[in-house]
Amino acid sequence: MDIKITTLAGAEAGKVTLSDEIFGLDPREDILQRVVRWQLAKRQQGTHKAKGRSEIARTGAKMYKQKGTGRARHHSARAPQFRGGGKAHGPVVRSHEHDLPKKVRALGLKHALSAKAKASSLIVVDDLMLSDAKTKALVANFAGLGLTNALMIGGAELDQNFKRAASNIPNIDVLPVQGINVYDILRRGTLVLSKAAVEALEERFK
């Protein structure tokens, strides 16, 4: 698959041949869903917590005598049915993470890249570099490329001027190539890869 390379200013800078094994697959929604679900579960903190009856700071003495009152039998005021008592079956601190085979994760990334290529939402630029960290200039470049909602993937090292300039622009994410992931690719409308990122991805999936 051949795709043209552009500069940030919108000028043509040649062509690049993308591997069909990475960018030419027929996207499978089931694989993408599995990877996104795995990613989001892994991101959950799992720090939600409610106190059970054993953790409530309240007297453990019997509320009143067992017989002769005409009322129901009760013991501790920490029981869940009483105001101020412990929570029955409440949330506890735990990990939401679950396993996903490494091959499925790699396949999910390929399918996400292929989905963007198939939808014509993939742009390859020669490099993501700016001489000055000026947001105004970068916004003008993005307007020329028609980018309003995009994920920008650079090489192994991001240009700091570009990263700073893009950090103030809403709906624009910038990541190094080692941080590329299925969820971020799918949540943005357009995927912008630098030439170095394309080379790194093809090297990674050899």
H or E element in which residue 145 lies: helix 135-145
Task: Average the pLDDT over each of 10-19, 134-143, 185-194 and give the range with the smallest value.
Answer: 10-19
Q: How confident is the model at residue 131 (pLDDT cuts 50, 70, 90)?
A: confident
Please give the pLDDT value at position 78: 96
Predicted confidence (pLDDT) at residue 10 exceeds the cutoff of 90: no
Q: Global pTM?
A: 0.83
Cα–chain-centroid distance for residue 64? 55
Indicate the length of the chain as a whole number.
206
Predicted confidence (pLDDT) at residue 37 exceeds the cutoff of 90: yes
Among all chains, which residue has been given the structure tokens 């500069």? Answer: 7
Domain ranges of the chain: 2-45+96-205, 47-93
Please give the pLDDT value at position 11: 85
Take residue 189 and report the two structure tokens written for it. Answer: 């409308």
Predicted confidence (pLDDT) at residue 2 exceeds the cutoff of 90: no
Mention every residue, 6+ apart, whose C-beta is less than 8 A from residue 42: 96, 97
d(C-alpha 190, C-alpha 120), whole Å: 9
Q: How confident is the model at residue 8 (pLDDT cuts 50, 70, 90)?
A: confident
Among all chains, which residue has been given the structure tokens 């013991």? Answer: 75
Mention every residue, 6+ apart, whose C-beta is less than 8 A from residue 144: 9, 10
Q: Which CATH superfamily is domain 2-45+96-205 in?
A: Ribosomal protein L4/L1 (3.40.1370.10)
Predicted confidence (pLDDT) at residue 194 exceeds the cutoff of 90: yes
Please give the pLDDT value at position 60: 87
Summarize pLDDT for 142-159 with one digit per residue, the tens: 999 999 999 999 988 899
Average pLDDT, the chain: 93
Please give the pLDDT value at position 58: 93
